[in-house]
Structure 1
């Protein structure tokens, strides 16, 4: 049988975009008999933040930086190439602190910087509230590229996140990755869309601009697939869930609804007097 810690950890790891604080509040309400349980969830918080590419602002800056395993320096510290900084991150509160200078060096540093330059132009044209990053990984033999765009509208009962992760291998010229979309709608119900689209491409030039060109092409195709899918759902499956017109095949005139005789006028049958 799963322990209480394992159960509530699964709640944390399944939290919808922008709703971790709400999940924490719910956990506290459900575990009042063990008030210290939330303090034992540091591993779950770290896993969630790194997998979701949570973004945070550095103190005194408006720039969003990304939390991921690829940007981790260990001991709760992460780095960002564009701001040339490293920082501590509290996984429970999702706040950054203790900013220090950090200069990227190594065999892939030039490729990382050129990729970031091209990526900046691309993401700012296509994403709202976007953060992006590129990092040398696997002993400086490959480059990881991340794009994350959050859009939260809790007053309208929905939140969403777009996450892209790509790994480029300079030795083979191959780009492999995936695009994940996670949208939660919870007004008078609870609907969640989670997608995962694999992406694979060849980058013959091996340059930062070449990498971003392939990313742009793949994400454009996926966006078009999503648009077609939503259109098909709207015109097909969703329409089948609810009759568009009453059985009379005529729209109800709501300003005259008081004058309808329910059985005869709306239902189409005879009414009893």
Structure 2
């Protein structure tokens, strides 16, 4: 992997480059990128041993959905429900599992007991969030995890993932949002990070990568009330963000994209398409 006269790239540098490619794979195109870097590296042992961490980080960053045996709803692979050793937990079904980051499959199920002090808050938010996702995201999935703090309050993290993969139409896209709040200790604040990534690659290569940070005060209340209020606030924020993206695209279509296209040829005269159909290009040039 070196041109004539260039220094040979070390295995460590090869792994760094390959990992960078993996981590920047567009949504829905991990396998294509993996196959390409596998050919470039031409060393399956080095790829597996050196870049396995990148496979795991990519799936966690993308909030990759996975359906567990016996579960109606998908859960998500994230940093927030990772146990280590390639294992994750699903508080909804109260199970932990081994996750294969290349095959994207769950196995080796074991019982898992969520934090008991946090569970009433977590379960209430999980119900409200699941209903919201089912109503607004056709193929969406969600995850809510919680843990009790020394102060007696409860820290909750809610994740939402939705994707549309249309490789036959040359585009793929993914929506991700992660929300965090602390409840049970008076007034709270809901904090969220919203991300959208779309890749369009028919006769070109165009990507939309957008993110927005959101903060909103959350009134104090019991488990059910806090859960309803949190979902109401995140629904407003997500709706406003989606509307803003749509409005921005319309503005870009009317201004920016048009500026990238030449409206008229350099002669400043419109093309006479009927004339071009009647004569060959050679005859047209000769007549001039």
State TM-score, norm by structure 2: 0.84
Q: Do the aligned partners of residues 138 and 21 (structure 1) sit closer, same or farther apart at CA in structure 2, a change above 3 Å counting?
A: farther
For the pair 1:173 / 2:188, whether they are aligned, the reply is yes
Counterpart in the other structure of 1:259: 278
Q: Is 1:125 aligned to 2:132, yes or no?
A: no
Residues 245 and 251 of structure 1 are in contact (CA less than 8 Å); yes or no, is this contact kept in structure 2?
no
The aligned counterpart of 1:143 is: 156
CA shift, 1:95, in A, is: 1.3
Q: Which moved more, 1:206-215 or 1:238-247?
A: 238-247
Change (3 A) 1:18 1:46: same
Aligned partner of 2:205 in structure 1 is 190
The yes-or-no answer on 1:38 pairing with 2:65 is no
Give the Cα–Cα distance (whole angstroms) in 2 for the partners of residues 141 and 198 of structure 1: 22
Instruction: Measure the CA separation in 1 of the matches of 2:122 and 2:188.
Output: 15
Maintained 8 Å contact 1:137/1:144: no
- Structure-2 residue corresponding to 1:111: 121
Query: Any stretches of 5+ residues in structure 1 without a counterpart?
Result: none
Judged with a 3 Å threshold, the aligned counterparts in structure 2 of structure 1 residues 147 and 259 are, in CA distance, closer, same or farther, namely same
Supply the distance in 1 between the matched residues of 2:227 and 2:167 (Cα, whole angstroms). 37
> What is the CA distance between 1:243 and its match in structure 2?
3.1
* Secondary structure in structure 1 of the residue aligned to 2:97: strand
Give the C-alpha shift of residue 102 in structure 1.
2.6
How has the CA–CA distance of structure 1 residues 38 and 74 changed in structure 2, closer, same or farther, with 3 Å as cutoff?
same
Say which SS state the counterpart of residue 117 (structure 2) adopts: coil
Cα shift readout 1:13-71 (whole Å, capped 9, x = no counterpart): 11110111111100111112x33222121111111111111111224555321001111
Residue deviations 1:112-141 (CA, integer Å, cap 9, x gap): 111111112211121121000110147584
Q: How does 1:1-273 map to 2 (within 5 A)?
A: 3-32=13-42, 34-40=43-49, 41-59=51-69, 61=71, 63-137=73-147, 139=149, 141-170=154-183, 171=185, 172-206=187-221, 207-244=226-263, 247-249=268-270, 252-253=273-274, 257-260=276-279, 272=287
Cα separation, partners in 2 of 1:64 and 1:188, compared to 1, 3 Å: same
CA–CA separation in structure 1 for the residues paired with 2:156 and 2:141: 17
Deviations 1:135-166 (A, max 9, x none): 01475841001000011011111111100001
Kindly report the root-mean-square deviation, in angstroms, between the aligned alpha carbons of the 2 structures.
2.4
Q: Deviations over 1:94-114 (max 9, x none)?
A: 211112333323222111111
Provide the rounded CA distance (Å) in 1 between the counterparts of 2:94 and 2:162.
21
TM-score normalised by length of structure 1:
0.89
